[in-house]
């Protein structure tokens, strides 16, 4: 049985799962979601640090990331940035739903 390793070391291997999660977020209307933001969200909100996990656990965490957790993370990043107005405009792109077009 394979042992776990640090979550950060799994990143190149789990890119397909990250892409799948980004596509899901796009379908939910979060058009500006990207792999890097999803990964940073997982590192900060789900794993909270670079913990040891097995591959299947990392993939499961990626695929089960709730859109609400992702949006809370993105919103918190906006408030930490100096250029608040630019990020408010960027968030508007996240809130657009496919039905509104």
The answer on pLDDT for 83 being more than 80 is no
What sections of 28-81 are H helices per DSSP? Answer: 35-41, 55-63, 67-80
The two three-digit tokens of residue 27, written as one number: 């379908």
Quote the pLDDT of residue 100. Answer: 47
Residue 87 is predicted with a pLDDT of 62
pLDDT at 101 over 50: no
pTM score, whole prediction: 0.77
Give the start-to-end residue ranges of the domains of the chain.
Answer: 5-95
Q: Rounded CA gap, 67 and 42, in Å?
A: 12
* For residues 56-81, average pLDDT: 90
78 pLDDT exceeds 80? no
């Amino acid at each position: 049985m394979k042992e776990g390793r640090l979550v950060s070391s799994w990143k190149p291997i789990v890119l397909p799962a990250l892409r799948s999660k980004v596509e899901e977020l796009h379908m939910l209307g979060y058009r500006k979601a990207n792999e890097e933001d999803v990964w940073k969200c997982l590192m900060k909100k789900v794993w909270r640090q670079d913990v040891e996990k097995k591959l299947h656990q990392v993939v499961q965490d990626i695929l089960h990331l709730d859109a609400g957790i992702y949006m809370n993370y993105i919103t918190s990043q906006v408030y930490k940035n100096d250029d608040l107005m630019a990020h408010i405009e960027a968030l508007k792109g996240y809130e657009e739903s496919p039905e509104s077009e």
